[in-house]
């Protein structure tokens, strides 16, 4: 992850919005955040964590987190964080909440997440930072933010406690395979017992039985083939008799149909004669008669059209004469239009001059009113200058009596830090009591279950093993009962004097009854239910106790850590009291300090107010001067506008063409506009009337020409149609003579019959086709039946024999199919039996392998082994820097208990405890381990460019060690890492290529500045 931008507002000591541009800081690869204790440095890291995960180390959700994190002088808290994740994608996370009307109440904390795509911030479905950073919150704290205290604890932990921590960091629980192996064993044993029970149902299946069934099937198939041949012979004979019977029946039917057609033959011949006559008349007379009707109708319609066109010609000629008369009436006004338009332009110039004269008068009035205002403004400027001199003199008097405030700020910081340390001590003591109470509560839970804190696993495991043994015995009894159930089917067949099918005995003194094994089955079900309940109860108890013991260990670690923190806070409080160096004040008497501070604040208020007054007076003087300049400029502009108006009036008078200006000197603007409008309306009216009459005349003449042309064309068409009608009548008379018809009425009568030629011809053709086909088919059937041996008695006898053979064949096929089906079933059952036997052998082999794995994963031996590999790798990586920091004098290693020790090369390479290291050496070792651990975790998350903060810890180093540490941090930059340092050590601040400072202002809260 690589940060880009962060803004904080209303968070802890950050009252107003503060912004950090990380792109400026990360350019150098190494940067610092510096400030005094309590200035708000670490709040920067806490803001980043809270924006990404909604979690913070200081407060949890039950501690009114939203209220306590909100600055007491702010109503809203906003955190806005931008960064690039390990894939180079840009994200933005925002957290915000605000104070309600009641001071102690706040709204719920709202968190949002966005991704930068297509030049826009697009919202994400989830605001969980783990999704985009690929780091959980604990791992984020271990790899991005590295506080010294956590890794000092990691350095000094015992082997078991460190293994637990390694288990959490590197997810070593995945190697805790003991419970999983136990589950696999239980599941494998159940499968073995299941297969044993399943095999009891396959005792009757064997390869010998299958061979016997195969031989019987072969014999049955031979019988089927013999019967099938006999059936096919009888079937062929029956088919021949059926064909002969069908042919004889068909011959009788066809002869009856032929007799019916002979009766219809005269009617068909009559149809043929009528069809021939209709086709001949239609072909020669239909078209001429249709044309005669069409030409006669068109000639009559054309005569009507000619009369209408003649009337329209006369009407249009009258309209042309009337339109020409109207145009003569407005001809004089139309020719005078150019003169009228020039007069319009002159009227407009006179109206413009009227407006200019009025504007000139207004400008002259404004000049007369503005001159006294300029004089008053100059007088005000002189008075304000005198007032400014007096206020500056008073300010100098206040400043000369100002007290030094730097010392007061330092004293107040001392009192605030003392109160903070005392509060932290009190909170720590309360937390320690709470942890002790919770520890007692968890131990009471163990006592209530009669389990010890150290041996509870062995005690519960004994009970679980006992139940497992009982379950195995119960399973054996259930298998025995299943065998009895299978044997019970033979009990019903036992009779005195008859041999037993199993043992062959003739006597059966005490046969087993169904009621006996049903009672036993119910008893076994109850025992199985009881054992299952006990097993579930024990496993639930195992899970609960496991959780309680983990919590006990956690509470013990917390108590030990809190005691160390309490001791450290007491030392800090003692050292802080020794830093009180002001003889004019007392540590215990803060009231005297507050009085002195109040006096200084009152004086500062007076100075501030006086400076504000001076600033306002200067602003007023500046405004007055600007107004004066503006008034003078405005007056000059007015005078220039008067001159321009006079010039425009004279120019417009020179442009007049048809009006004498002297005649309109005293005419007002309204009269001029009225005359202009009247003349304008007259021009528009004349132009419109002349254009309308001209358009009407042109349209009327055009219509007259079109109608005259249509009249001439229609008259010529009428003459042509008359000639065509006479010629067509001659043609029809010639045809009547040719076909010997008396007149046209006979022809029309034939055509009016409207015979459907295609249907009539098709009907005639179908009749002849059917008649010929019947004759042909009757001849064929007579030929087929000439040599036939068919008789009804022979047919019925053959039919009965065919039915009997068919039943015999079906019986043989059923027998063969039953044998084949049984053989198939036995073959499948044999395959299942072989599969079960193979699975049984595999499960037995798996059972032996699981026993070996169970012995291997007992306890935490394998986890401790994997943990030691990770620790050894951490030592190797950490020593690459630790050697350089200690000038090759010390090296980190692990002892047999997986505890850290150091190799002292100045004393012949002997090993000693890390607790013998000095404070500075411990910090160096912790730093190297922290960097190694961060590299391991970030490599798991495939981070491209590593980035992390180191919070505090440099105060324990001397100047030479700081140089070495600083060189190491610079070396990290060359390894493509960006490192941020949070510290109050000024020597580091001076050497940082990029840094920011956080200062706490009493009025404005924490302030961020770039160095």
Q: What is the DSSP string of 797-819?
A: HHHHHHHHHHHHHHHHHHHHHHH
pLDDT in tens, 463-488: 777 887 887 787 777 766 666 665 56
Distances in whole angstroms, Cα of residue 833 to Cα of each of 197, 204, 661, 821, 828: 12, 11, 133, 18, 9
Among the listed residues 557, 484, 494, 555, the one whose alpha carbon sits nearest the alpha carbon of residue 524: 484
Residue 628: per-residue pLDDT = 82
Q: List all residues 6 or more positions away from 746 whose beta carbon is below 8 Å from its beta carbon.
A: none
405 has pLDDT over 70: no
Alpha-carbon distance 212 to 543, whole Å? 59
Q: What is the mean pLDDT of the chain?
A: 80
Residue 966: per-residue pLDDT = 72
Query: Are 638 and 423 in contact, with CB atoms under 8 Å apart?
Result: no
Residue 746: per-residue pLDDT = 75
Residue 15: per-residue pLDDT = 92
Query: Are 178 and 859 in contact, with CB atoms under 8 Å apart?
Result: yes
933 has pLDDT over 80: no
Alpha-carbon dihedral of residues 579, 585, 586, 587, nearest 10 degrees? -40
Only one residue has tokens 């079906």, namely: 810
Nearest 5°: phi and psi at 673? Answer: -65, -40
Q: List all residues 6 or more positions away from 461 whose beta carbon is below 8 Å from its beta carbon.
A: none
The residues facing 138 across adjacent strands are none
Query: Are 801 and 231 in contact, with CB atoms under 8 Å apart?
Result: no
489 has pLDDT over 60: no
Alpha-carbon distance 39 to 1005, whole Å? 9
687 alpha carbon, distance to own chain's centre? 72
Residue 127: per-residue pLDDT = 92
Alpha-carbon distance 92 to 188, whole Å? 52
C-alpha dihedral sign at 380, 381, 383, 387: positive
Can you tell me the mean pLDDT for 282-291? 75
Locate 211 and state its tokens.
């061979």
Per-range mean pLDDT, top range of 58-67, 118-127, 129-138, 420-429: 118-127
| Kind and range of the H or E run holding 669 | helix 669-738
Surface-to-core class of residue 139, CB atoms within 10 Å of its CB (0-12 exposed, 13-18 middle, 19+ buried): buried
Q: List all residues 6 or more positions away from 659 whose beta carbon is below 8 Å from its beta carbon.
A: 343, 346, 347, 350
Residue 52: per-residue pLDDT = 93
970 has pLDDT over 80: no
Alpha-carbon distance 904 to 888, whole Å? 9
Q: How confident is the model at residue 503 (pLDDT cuts 50, 70, 90)?
A: low
Alpha-carbon distance 905 to 898, whole Å? 21
The lowest-confidence range among 274-283, 424-433, 969-978 is 969-978
Q: How confident is the model at residue 90 (pLDDT cuts 50, 70, 90)?
A: very high
| Kind and range of the H or E run holding 653 | helix 590-654
Query: Are 11 and 79 in contact, with CB atoms under 8 Å apart?
Result: yes
More confident residue, 149 or 586: 586
Nearest 5°: phi and psi at 889? Answer: -90, -30
Residue 112: per-residue pLDDT = 94
Residue 514: per-residue pLDDT = 58
Residue 200: per-residue pLDDT = 76
Q: What is the DSSP letter of 500?
A: P
Distances in whole angstroms, Cα of residue 302 to Cα of each of 291, 713, 714, 715: 16, 10, 7, 8
Query: Are 83 and 71 in contact, with CB atoms under 8 Å apart?
Result: no
3-state secondary structure 917-929: CCHHHHHHHHHHH
pLDDT in tens, 211-268: 887 888 888 888 888 888 888 888 888 788 777 778 788 878 888 888 888 888 888 7
Pairing mode, strands 120-123 and 110-117:
antiparallel
Q: Where are the beta strands (DSSP E) in 107-170?
A: 110-117, 120-123, 145-147
pLDDT in tens, 607-634: 888 888 888 888 888 888 888 888 888 8
Residue 374: per-residue pLDDT = 81
Q: How confident is the model at residue 99 (pLDDT cuts 50, 70, 90)?
A: very high
Residue 30: per-residue pLDDT = 84
Query: Are 81 and 92 in contact, with CB atoms under 8 Å apart?
Result: yes
pLDDT in tens, 764-782: 888 888 888 888 888 887 7
Among the listed residues 111, 646, 76, 610, the one whose alpha carbon sits nearest the alpha carbon of residue 388: 610
Surface-to-core class of residue 41, CB atoms within 10 Å of its CB (0-12 exposed, 13-18 middle, 19+ buried): buried
pLDDT in tens, 524-542: 788 888 888 887 787 777 7
Q: How confident is the model at residue 82 (pLDDT cuts 50, 70, 90)?
A: very high
**Packed helices 406-448 and 590-654: angle between N→C axes, nearest 10 degrees:** 110
Query: Are 105 and 31 in contact, with CB atoms under 8 Å apart?
Result: no
Q: How confident is the model at residue 556 (pLDDT cuts 50, 70, 90)?
A: confident
550 has pLDDT over 90: no
150 has pLDDT over 70: no
Residue 862: per-residue pLDDT = 74
Only one residue has tokens 């302030």, namely: 1007
Can you tell me the mean pLDDT for 138-145? 72
Query: Are 273 and 699 in contact, with CB atoms under 8 Å apart?
Result: no
More confident residue, 795 or 894: 894
3-state helix, strand, coil in the chain (%, to 5): 75, 10, 15
Q: How many residues does the chain have?
A: 1011
pLDDT in tens, 660-688: 777 777 778 888 788 888 888 888 888 88
Nearest 5°: phi and psi at 942? Answer: 60, 40
Residue 958: per-residue pLDDT = 67
275 has pLDDT over 80: no
Can you tell me the mean pLDDT for 430-458? 81
% of the chain beyond a pLDDT of 90: 8
Report the chain's terminal Cα–Cα distance, integer Å: 24
Alpha-carbon distance 722 to 728, whole Å? 10
512 has pLDDT over 70: no
Residue 727: per-residue pLDDT = 81
Residue 17: per-residue pLDDT = 93
Alpha-carbon distance 476 to 485, whole Å? 14
For residue 713, the tally of other CB atoms under 10 A from its CB is: 11
121 has pLDDT over 90: yes
pLDDT in tens, 167-208: 666 767 777 777 788 888 888 888 888 887 777 777 777 778
Residue 497: per-residue pLDDT = 61
Q: What is the DSSP string of 308-335?
A: HHHHHHHHHHHHHHHHHHHHHHTHHHHH
């Amino acid at each position: 992850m690589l940060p880009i931008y962060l803004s904080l507002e209303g968070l802890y000591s950050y009252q107003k919005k503060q912004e950090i541009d990380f792109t400026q800081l990360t350019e150098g690869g190494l940067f610092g955040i510096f400030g005094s204790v309590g200035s708000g440095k670490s709040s920067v890291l806490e803001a980043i964590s809270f924006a990404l995960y909604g979690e913070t180390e200081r407060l949890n959700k039950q501690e009114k987190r939203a209220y306590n994190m909100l600055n007491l002088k702010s109503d809203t808290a906003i955190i806005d964080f931008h960064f690039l994740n390990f894939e180079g994608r840009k994200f933005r996370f925002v957290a915000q909440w605000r104070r309600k009307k009641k001071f102690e109440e706040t709204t719920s904390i709202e968190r949002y997440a966005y991704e930068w795509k297509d030049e826009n911030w697009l919202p994400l479905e989830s605001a969980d930072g783990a999704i985009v950073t690929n780091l959980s919150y604990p791992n984020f704290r271990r790899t991005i933010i590295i506080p010294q205290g956590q890794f000092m604890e990691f350095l000094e932990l015992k082997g078991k406690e460190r293994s637990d921590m390694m288990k959490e960091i590197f997810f070593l629980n995945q190697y805790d395979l003991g419970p999983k192996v136990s589950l696999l064993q239980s599941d494998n044993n159940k499968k073995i017992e299941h297969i044993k029970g399943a095999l009891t149902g396959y005792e009757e299946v064997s390869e010998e039985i299958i061979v016997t069934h195969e031989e019987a099937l072969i014999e049955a198939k031979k019988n089927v083939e013999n019967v099938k041949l006999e059936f096919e012979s009888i079937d062929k004979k029956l088919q021949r008799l059926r064909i002969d019977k069908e042919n004889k029946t068909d011959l009788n039917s066809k002869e009856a149909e032929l007799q019916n057609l002979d009766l219809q033959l005269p009617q068909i011949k009559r149809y043929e004669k009528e069809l021939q006559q209709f086709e001949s008349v239609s072909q020669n007379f239909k078209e001429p008669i249709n044309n005669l009707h069409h030409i006669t109708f068109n000639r009559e319609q054309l005569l009507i059209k000619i009369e209408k066109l003649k009337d329209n010609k006369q009407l249009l000629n009258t309209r042309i004469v009337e339109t020409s008369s109207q145009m003569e009436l407005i001809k004089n006004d139309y020719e005078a239009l150019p003169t009228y338009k020039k007069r319009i332009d002159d009227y407009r110039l006179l109206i413009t001059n009227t407006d200019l004269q009025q504007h000139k008068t207004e400008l002259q009035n404004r000049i007369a009113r503005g001159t006294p205002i300029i004089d008053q403004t100059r007088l005000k400027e002189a008075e304000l200058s005198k007032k400014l001199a007096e206020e500056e003199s008073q300010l100098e008097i206040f400043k000369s009596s100002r007290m030094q405030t730097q010392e007061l700020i330092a004293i107040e910081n001392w009192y605030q830090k003392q109160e903070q340390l005392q509060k932290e001590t009190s909170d720590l003591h309360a937390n320690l009591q709470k942890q002790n109470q919770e520890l007692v509560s968890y131990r009471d839970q163990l006592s209530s279950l009669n389990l010890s804190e150290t041996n509870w696993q062995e005690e519960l495991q004994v009970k679980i093993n006992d139940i497992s043994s009982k379950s195995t015995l119960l399973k054996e009894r259930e298998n025995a009962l299943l065998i009895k159930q299978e044997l019970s089917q033979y009990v019903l067949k036992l009779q005195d004097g008859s041999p037993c099918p199993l043992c062959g005995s003739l006597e059966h003194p005490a046969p087993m009854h169904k009621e006996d094994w049903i009672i036993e089955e119910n008893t076994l079900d109850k025992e199985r239910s009881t054992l299952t309940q006990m097993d579930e109860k024990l496993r639930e108890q195992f899970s609960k106790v496991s959780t309680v013991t983990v919590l006990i260990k956690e509470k013990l670690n917390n108590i030990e850590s809190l005691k160390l923190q309490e001791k450290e806070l007491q030392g800090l409080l003692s050292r802080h009291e020794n830093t009180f160096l002001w003889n004019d004040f007392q540590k215990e008497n803060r009231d005297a300090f507050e009085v002195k501070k109040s006096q200084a604040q009152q004086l500062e208020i007076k100075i501030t107010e006086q400076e504000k007054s001076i600033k306002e007076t200067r602003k007023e003087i500046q405004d007055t001067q600007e107004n004066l300049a503006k008034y003078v400029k405005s007056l000059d502009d007015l005078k220039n506008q008067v001159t321009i108006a006079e010039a425009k009036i004279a120019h417009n008078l020179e442009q007049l063409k048809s009006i004498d200006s002297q005649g309109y000197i005293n005419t007002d603007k309204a009269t001029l506009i009225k005359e202009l409008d009247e003349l304008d309306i007259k021009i528009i009216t004349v132009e419109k009337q002349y254009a309308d009459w001209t358009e009407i005349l042109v349209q009327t003449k055009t219509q007259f020409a079109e109608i005259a042309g249509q009249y001439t064309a229609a008259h010529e068409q009428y003459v042509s149609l008359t000639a065509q009608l006479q010629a067509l009548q001659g043609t029809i008379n010639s045809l009547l003579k040719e076909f010997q018809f008396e007149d046209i009425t006979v022809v029309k009568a034939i055509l009016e019959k409207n015979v459907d030629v295609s249907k009539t011809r098709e009907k005639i053709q179908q009749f002849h086709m059917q008649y010929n086909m019947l004759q042909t088919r009757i001849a064929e059937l007579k030929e087929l039946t000439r040599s036939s041996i068919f008789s009804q008695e022979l047919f019925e006898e053959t039919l009965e024999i065919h039915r009997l053979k068919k039943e015999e064949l079906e019986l043989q096929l059923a027998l063969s199919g039953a044998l084949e089906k049984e053989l198939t079933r036995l073959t499948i059952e044999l395959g299942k039996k072989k599969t079960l036997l193979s699975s049984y052998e595999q499960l037995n082999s798996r059972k032996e392998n699981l026993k070996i794995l169970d012995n291997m994963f007992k306890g935490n031996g394998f986890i401790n082994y994997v943990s030691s590999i990770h620790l050894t790798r951490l030592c190797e990586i950490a020593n690459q820097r630790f050697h350089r920091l200690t000038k090759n004098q010390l090296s980190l290693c692990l002892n047999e208990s997986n505890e850290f020790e150091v190799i002292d090369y100045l004393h012949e390479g002997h090993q000693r405890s890390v607790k013998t290291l000095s404070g500075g050496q411990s910090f160096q070792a912790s730093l190297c381990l922290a960097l190694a651990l961060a590299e391991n975790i970030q490599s798991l998350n495939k981070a491209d460019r590593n980035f992390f903060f180191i919070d505090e810890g440099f105060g324990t180093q001397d100047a030479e060690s700081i140089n070495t540490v600083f060189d190491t941090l610079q070396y990290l930059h060359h390894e493509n890492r960006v490192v941020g340092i949070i510290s109050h050590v000024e020597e580091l601040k001076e050497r940082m290529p990029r840094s920011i400072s956080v200062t706490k202002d009493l009025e404005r809260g924490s302030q961020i500045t770039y160095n």
